[in-house]
Structure 1
């Protein structure tokens, strides 16, 4: 295979998988890792991908534009329902407490909380609070703060301060990006601060993220990989990326 053909094939892999590792590409094409790094450099200069530590991601993977909640709730709905159903196994026993982050995947989980298991729930999400307000057997705490229109969730110093006094059995968090190097990330600093406080408040931290989030790195990290106990994702997740996370100590549940 000529270098140009290999480079085009690598670009196709990056687009298809969302992320590739240098070592995996080298093995796939039977070349050295140094050759792969040179290929990635050529492709990056051509604007076909972006190099990151240990590999490459699509040119738009390091995104700063954050889609609105309504738009996110209309995408990957089947995968998010399966993720939410699998996440039910992470709930604490009856009488336990949970924190629910704002987001489309955590909203899907909230829709499955039928009240058959008495729980105490705290959330910063206005839509999730509205969904759970009438649920029998569930005691709801709504965290206050400035509500961001994009996510319809409370953020800011008062939200973070409220979380510093909480200790829940399980914190369920959403994420915009997941990578072994950068951890769990989101584009907005204020959202990241609240997620960070939620992670500190949970005895166990469970992140719900569909497979499109794997290999993406956003501006602000809210949790390093070892700070998360469980990631629940869907069956389209790249096995190589899943393996990287598992080697970092995260339990990955594939729905």
Structure 2
């Protein structure tokens, strides 16, 4: 196979999978790892990908890159809907306090709660959120008790951030929290690109009695800039695909239940 054809195929793999490893490419194309590294270096120079430790990620996968809420809403919508539907079944029985973190999948969960829960069931739940779209969605179903956590709203995610938000969350001990993440990695744990968002997420994880992470499979084996929790701080991961061997082993070692949607 000519190098040009191999480069085209590598570019396609990075685009479709989000991340490739040197070992994976070496075995797939039956070339040495040194040849793979040269290929990746050439592809990085023309902007096709970005090299990281052990492999490469898509060019737009910088640790600080983050799409707007509106851009993320339509991406992998079907998978996120399935994840939200599974999460709905994890709500505690009876009266309970529920934190909904900011994010497109947690917003879908809020919509299912508003649309599908009977009025009597909804009345048993106190929903706590710092996300404006989620607060609006829950408030449209009058039966819920709703507590909105305030602070400065970040336009990119429509979520309150900052010290005031963190202090309000620190004073709570909710029964369950549904949390989003930009990355779920075996060694780095859960991460997100923005430090202020990370501080809020970290506080949610620490204060909740049970933590459920909602993350579609594009977030698995990924790292964003700021780590906000270790895998051992999570009780359940709801995703749409079985994690790869390394992450699966780390989740099992951390006693994280994996629920497939």
TM-score, length basis structure 2: 0.82
Q: Which residue of 1 aligns with 2:62?
A: 62
Q: Is residue 133 from structure 1 mapped to residue 139 from structure 2 by the alignment?
A: yes
Q: Which of residues 160, 170, 174 is equivalent to 2:180?
A: 174
Matches within 5 A, 1:33-182: 33-62=33-62, 64-113=64-113, 114=117, 115=119, 116=121, 118-133=124-139, 135=141, 138-182=144-188
CA contact (8 A) 1:18 1:214 kept: no
2:14 is aligned to: 14
Q: Is 2:17–2:218's contact at 8 Å kept on the other side of the alignment?
A: no
28-37 or 104-113: which moved more? 28-37
Deviation at 1:234, TM superposition (A): 2.7
Q: 1:24 aligns to what?
A: 24
Q: Are 2:101 and 2:131, in contact at CA under 8 Å, matched by a contact in 1? A: yes
Which 4+ residue blocks in structure 1 deviate beyond 4 angstroms?
2-5, 31-35
Residues 221 and 247 in structure 2, CA contact (< 8 A), matched pair in contact too: no
Flag the 1:183–1:38 CA change in 2: closer, same or farther, 3 A.
farther
C-alpha change, 1:89 and 1:57, in structure 2 (3 Å) is same
In the alignment of these two chains, the number of paired residues is: 251
* Corresponding residue SS for 1:168: coil
SS at match of 2:108: helix
C-alpha separation in 2, matches of 1:251 and 1:33? 35
Cα separation, 2, equivalents of 1:181 and 1:136? 42
The TM-score normalised by the length of structure 1 is 0.84
**1:199 shift after superposition:** 1.0
Name stretches of at least 5 consecutive residues in structure 1 with no aligned partner. Answer: none
RMSD: 2.6
Q: Name the counterpart of 1:252.
A: 258
**Match of residue 217 from structure 1:** 223
Consecutive unaligned residues in structure 2, runs of 5 or more: none
Residues 234, 130 of structure 1: alpha-carbon distance in 2 compared, 3 angstrom cutoff: same
